[in-house]
Amino acid sequence: MTEKAIKAKTARYRVKSSTRGGAREGAGRPAGGKNKINLATIQTVLDKLYDRTGYCYEDLLIDDFLKARENNSALAHKYHVILANKLMPDLASIEVTDTASQVEEKRQAFADALSQLARVAGSTPAETK
């Protein structure tokens, strides 16, 4: 594009037209409005899926994922993303079952390692030989 064409194209966007964009009175969902899809709707869809196929949604998802993997399909990557986004946050919760003495041992080991690191960082190359 020439410089003149670029200036002409960008000039029309400098002044915003009153008929395009921006917030308008009454636009959008009303405050306090409910979601269009609620849990009851989702459960109804899942129940109908089970009635027609005899399988729950999770089983169908896993079967499709395994079929995509068998075919070396690029679709398998999408299934990985779906499963990782939905399952990993649930699996990421970790329960700590250490006793107070174990926590204190770990704290002391960390402090010792940190002090050794500080000694190494503060020493000169001649001292480390």
Mean pLDDT value across residues 56-81: 83
Look up the pTM and report it. Answer: 0.37
Residue found by looking up tokens 């002409």 in the block: 8
How would residue 19 be classed by pLDDT, with cut points 50, 70 and 90? Answer: low
Is 5's pLDDT higher than 80?
A: no
Report d(CA 51, CA 93) in Å as an integer. 34
Report d(CA 123, CA 39) in Å as an integer. 63
